[in-house]
Amino acid sequence: MGNYTIAVLPGDGIGPEVTDEAIRILDAVASRFGHSFTYQKRLVGVAAIEAEGDAISDASLEVCQRSDAILFGAVGGLPSYDGSHKVKPEQALFKLRKGLQFFANLRPVKPLNSLLSASPIKAEVLRGADLVVVRELTGGLYYGHLEPPVPGKPSEIRQTEQGKSAIDTLLYSEAEIERILRVAFEAARDRKKKVTSVDKANVLSSSVLWRQVANRVAADYPDVTFEHMLVDACAMHLIRKPTNFDVIVTENLFGDILTDEASMLAGSMGMLPSASLGTHETAHGRLGLYEPIHGSAPDIAGQGKANPIAAILSAAMLLQYSLGLKSEAAAIEAAVEQVIQAGYRTEDLREEETKVLKTQEMGQKIAAVLAQ
Ligand SMILES: NC(=O)c1ccc[n+]([C@@H]2O[C@H](COP(=O)([O-])OP(=O)(O)OC[C@H]3O[C@@H](n4cnc5c(N)ncnc54)[C@H](O)[C@@H]3O)[C@@H](O)[C@H]2O)c1
Ligand SMILES: CC(C)[C@H](C(=O)O)[C@@H](O)C(=O)O
Ligand SMILES: [Mg+2]
């Protein structure tokens, strides 16, 4: 039994819809296991820009820093946001990630057996797939060459004599590469003991350095099988034979793109959770930022069509990684599996002979299983 403070940043579009369901599940966990969660809700994204003039205020960042964990919905992309403010809603993510040094983004991909037919990829290819993408989150193309790096100002457009030109710089230091590689190898030791380091070393200098550092780190983990793979080939192998992968470790933008692709192994963008971790300690463990990998999905916002499972599984990761509550996290995963197995789906996973539920109804079903 414990008391924990969770900063909650619902955000824009479907962000608040799916975050409400993640909270419903955390409440169900609290009553079943006797914990107490205090939620500190703050504005983020468009709402924060309009009310506070920034995508996330410094006061909200401080609330996050003082919490035991951060639950994030999604930001950006609302048609109602006219973009007249200089600041973009997505800058909230950069401020959080860079500001709190969440350099390691874990994105597990484990298609549920009862969802194999919901994926466009053949069931026999998917069966047994269980991988995690370790995405570097505070460097690379997102932060460019600015020294010191300015969160949320990753690129520059310049006026030249020939017209406008724009530049983005992919910069990595050895230390940044080494720490993310170590996260990957440590994760592999608890899993199937294989690391695939993904880069573009046939073109990019940053990837050549990435390979050198990766080889050095790999030598410290002789018990882990290690390979390099070019990112374009990886995009293909991911859907050709996903069972060949265990831990994929890669640069910020490559990890962003590969995980949207990988979400289709699990059937939908609405299925993949994530944990972003750094080194900041709390009274209960390590501070982390937990969010679905998907965005604000303006095309389905406000219609009850959003799948809340990615947010709910992010809450499970929060319990596991920041609060050390492993059985509670496992109970959420089992409840999700049971509800899907029973044939309940949200719109994105609609198939014949399934019962399609609204966002809230899906949350209620999963909470009801947890209450049993
Ligand atoms: N972490 C974040 O806050 C985050 C992540 C990704 C994108 N974004 C932002 O979101 C906005 C929209 O981006 P986008 O449309 O390219 O990507 P998106 O992830 O919002 O949506 C892509 C597609 O997946 C579907 N989808 C996403 N989540 C779903 C869910 N839970 N249930 C069912 N279907 C779901 C959407 O309907 C859409 O068709 C952009 O402004 C982008 O910058 C934010
Ligand atoms: C919204 C965007 C900045 C963000 C990213 O690219 O990191 C998103 O796509 C993600 O995957 O978390
Ligand atoms: Mg993304």
Confidence of residue 156 (pLDDT cuts 50, 70, 90): low
Buried b (16+ CB within 10 A) or exposed e, 11-35: bbbbbbbbbbbbbbbbebbbeeeeb
Which residue bears the tokens 């505070």?
Answer: 138
Q: Is the pLDDT of residue 148 over 60?
A: no
CA distance 4 to 324: 11
Q: How far is the CA of 324 from the centre of ligand 3 (A)?
A: 27
All residues with CB under 5 Å from ion ligand 3:
256
Q: Is the ipTM of this complex over 0.95?
A: yes
> Residue 146 pLDDT more than 70?
no
135 marked ligand binding residue: yes
The residue that leads in pLDDT, 167 or 122, is: 122
- The residue length of the chain stands at 372
Can you list the positions of beta strands (E) in the chain?
Answer: 3-11, 36-41, 69-74, 104-109, 131-136, 156-160, 163-167, 194-199, 225-230, 247-250, 275-281, 286-290, 344-345, 355-356
Mean pLDDT for 140-155 is: 62
pLDDT tens per residue, range 345-369: 999 999 999 999 999 999 999 999 9
Terminal C-alpha separation, the chain: 19
Q: Where are the domains of the chain?
A: 1-107+269-372
**Helix-helix angle 309-321:359-371, to 10 degrees:** 40
Considering every ligand atom shown, identify the ligand nearest to the alpha carbon of residue 260 and give its number: 3
86 pLDDT above the threshold of 80: no
Contact by Cβ (8 Å): 90, 76:
yes
Nearest residue by C-alpha to atom 16 in ligand 1: 295
pLDDT, position 158: 74
- 293 Cβ inside 6 Å of ligand 2: yes
Q: How far apart are CA 267 and CA 116, in angstroms?
A: 7
Q: Looking at domain 1-107+269-372, what is its CATH homologous superfamily?
A: Isopropylmalate Dehydrogenase (3.40.718.10)
Query: What residues form DSSP beta bridges with 9?
Result: 72
Which-ligand-closest: CA of 253? Answer: 2
> Helix, strand, or coil here: 355?
strand
- DSSP track, 247-258: EEEE-HHHHHHH
pLDDT 10s digits, 16-54: 999 999 999 999 999 999 999 999 999 999 989 989 999
| CA-based nearest residue to 263, from 97, 133, 353 | 133
Residues 72-99, mean pLDDT to the nearest whole number: 83
pLDDT band per the 50, 70, 90 thresholds, residue 338: very high
Task: Tell whether ligand 2 has an atom less than 6 A from the beta carbon of residue 93.
Answer: yes
Rg from Cα positions in the chain: 20
Quick: pLDDT tens for 267-306: 999 999 999 999 999 999 999 999 999 999 999 999 999 9
Question: What is the atom index within ligand 1 of the atom nearest the CA of 73?
Answer: 3
Helix pair angle (359-371, 326-341), 10° resolution:
120
For residue 260, give the ligand 2 atom closest to its CA.
11
**Average pLDDT over the chain, rounded to an integer:** 94
Q: What predicted TM-score, i.e. pTM, was given to this entire model?
A: 0.97
**227: helix, coil or strand?**
strand
- Residue 209: what pLDDT? 98
Taking alpha carbons only, the member of 114, 71, 110 closest to residue 311 is: 71
Evaluate if residue 150 carries a pLDDT over 60. no
Q: Which residues line ligand 1 at a C-beta cut-off of 6 Å? A: 14, 18, 74-77, 90, 93, 268-270, 291, 294-300, 306-307, 310, 348
Nearest-CA neighbor of 312 among 280, 334, 343? Answer: 334
User: Is 179 flagged in the annotation as binding?
Assistant: no
Rounded to whole angstroms, the Cα distance separating 142 from 255 reads 12
The pLDDT tens digits of the residues spanning 300-328 come to 999 999 999 999 999 999 999 999 999 99
Pairing of strands 247-250, 131-136: parallel
Give the model's pLDDT for residue 88.
Answer: 86
Assess whether pLDDT exceeds 80 at residue 155: no
* Mean pLDDT of all residues in 199-203: 98
Count the helices and strands in the chain (H runs, E runs). 12, 14
